[in-house]
Amino acid sequence: MKKILFVASEGVPFIKTGGLADVVGSLPKCFDKEAYDVRVILPKYMCMKEEWKNKMKYLTHFYMDLAWRSQYVGILEMEYEGIPFYFIDNEYYFAGPKPYGNIYQDIEKFAFFSKAALSALPVIGFQPDIVHCHDWQTGLIPVFLKDKFHEGEFFRDMKSIITIHNLKFQGIWDMKTVKDITGLPSYYFTPDKLEAYGDANFLKGGIVYADAITTVSNTYAEEIKTPFYGERLDGLMRARSNSLRGIVNGIDYEEYNPETDPLIEKNYNARNFRKEKIKNKRALQKELGLEQDDRKFLIGIVSRLTDQKGFDLIAYMMDELCQQDVQLVVLGTGEERYENMFRHFAWKYQGKVSANIFYSEAMSHKIYASCDAFLMPSLFEPCGLSQLMSLRYGTVPIVRETGGLKDTVQPYNEYESTGTGFSFANYNAHEMLNTVKYAMHVYYNKKREWNKLIDRGMAMDFSWNTSARKYEELYQWLCP
């Protein structure tokens, strides 16, 4: 039996700020239980909900050297959906109202967490074959495994994988401080190792020292070898391209299931959506004060409101978009200028635009279930989960061809009657608007074709089981 350890800074249901948490919480339970013993280590943040903290069992604690300091490491555990979760406790590092704060605090916090996660293994008696690290917060683990820990019998044969969920976030701080925090010898702080552009870079360390590297879609794995997407690490990604592969994320098909979803007005499935899905639209139009009209082309957006997600394109075209025969519903928070832009257009086009500048899980489900189309014109998108959710709910995605969006949405072809959504290639506002207009044309004038798009979309399988098989292949390849 292969033993796998996931180490990450967040995981559902315990703590979540983004898609990383969904991966860490959902993927482990999809592996073949006969062949894989998968466990997860997370930080025990003070800001976790009491209900979870109360269920954790104290295992033990010890003191660990972090360079010249001695730090307390508490270990708690609980089982959730058949997976053992361990939590590293240290109130000095994991206090505060949210999991991430100022980068200089986070640098020390996750250096501590990375070393503590490895140091805890002999204590809990779990010796994984593979340590699967996620994002920059765990980037030092592959480095530590090749350094101090390599001398110990227990760690000698352990392999490491690092998964890059978003290359933009790298964990960069000045070298002197990082050297002081980690206690790593100067030998590691050279341009072929942790040093990048004069600073120390956690993610770079992970990429250099991990035995395998994955990212969250095939296209993104290719894109990050180019200067535009490579975030100044494209040379390293090219150098390590033999060890790099893309595995697309999934979504939890139990949680996101229009047939059983308790958060939506009316449940439906791939067979009866023609009759039933519309009831969700009516309820949402009513709830949000949009003009109640079954035929209106309703476009949804659920997103962080940032440049990465393509909101500068939307801002540029917003007035023109609102002149069309459409309704637009937006849910999310982010940069102030985009928050205010949507508030402005909701005021200017009452009954046509609904701006919900907050985040609500329930409202996001309602939007996936009610809208006709879902707009996602990202500048870059390592994987993206919203388009997978909209396909699952029979809401047609309109996306830009980048990263995971390109891998998961097949563009509609009217001559062959194929495809699951609409897409455009260039990061260009007019191209985006034209694609929306084309989708609108099909929706209004070719209803049967539109419904067939939905049929094909709902038939796709982007559940975690598909991704889990790909990770199993990778684990086999790394530890035959």
Q: Does residue 264 sit within a domain? A: no
User: Could you tell me if residue 56 is inside a domain?
Assistant: yes
Q: What is the pLDDT of residue 294?
A: 97
Q: Residue 302 sits in a domain of what CATH number? A: 3.40.50.2000
Q: Is 375 helix (H, G, I), strand (E, B) or coil?
A: strand
Whether 257 is in a domain gets the answer no
Contact 18, 216 (CB under 8 A): no
Which residues does residue 302 pair with via DSSP β-bridges, in sequence order?
331
- Whether residue 289 is contained in a domain is answered as yes
Where does residue 218 rank: exposed (0-12), middle (13-18), buried (19+ CB within 10 A)? middle
Same domain for 307 and 349: yes
Per the domain annotation, does 258 fall within a domain?
no
Is residue 340 located within the same domain as residue 239? Answer: no
Burial class (CB in 10 A: 0-12, 13-18, 19+), 407: buried
CB–CB of 460/395 below 8 Å?
no
Residues 64 and 209 in one domain: yes
Whole domain around residue 169: which residue ranges? 2-250+465-478
Q: Do 288 and 163 sit in the same domain of this protein? A: no
3-state SS string over 200-242?
EEHHHHHHHHCCEEEECCHHHHHHCCCCCCCCCCHHHHHHCHH
Does residue 426 sit in the same domain as residue 441?
Answer: yes
On whether the CB atoms of residues 412 and 433 are closer than 8 A, the answer is: no
The residue ranges of the chain whose pLDDT is under 50 are none
Shared domain check, 113 and 77: yes
Residue 52 included in any domain: yes
Give the pLDDT of residue 11: 96
Q: Tell me, what's the pLDDT at 19?
A: 84
Q: How many CB atoms lie within 10 A of CB 322?
A: 15
The CA–CA distances, whole Å, from 447 to 443, 444, 451 equal 6, 6, 6
- Tens-place pLDDT, residues 112-163: 999 999 999 999 999 999 999 999 999 999 999 998 898 889 999 999 999 9
Asked if the structure places residue 286 within a domain, the reply is yes
Q: Are residues 286 and 418 in the same domain?
A: yes
Count of the separate structural domains present in the chain: 2
Q: Quick one: which H or E segment has residue 465? A: helix 464-478
User: Do 98 and 241 belong together in one domain?
Assistant: yes
One domain, residues 294 and 234 = no
Q: Are residues 290 and 409 in the same domain?
A: yes
Considering the domain architecture, whether residues 448 and 470 belong to the same structural domain is answered as no
How many residues are recorded in the chain?
A: 480
**What's the confidence (pLDDT) of residue 462?**
96
Dihedral, 359, 365, 371, 376 alpha carbons, nearest 10: 60
Pairing of strands 172-174, 244-246: unpaired
At residue 338, the pLDDT reads 97
Do 180 and 318 have their domain in common?
no
Chain Cα centroid distance, residue 477:
25
Domain assignment present for 436: yes
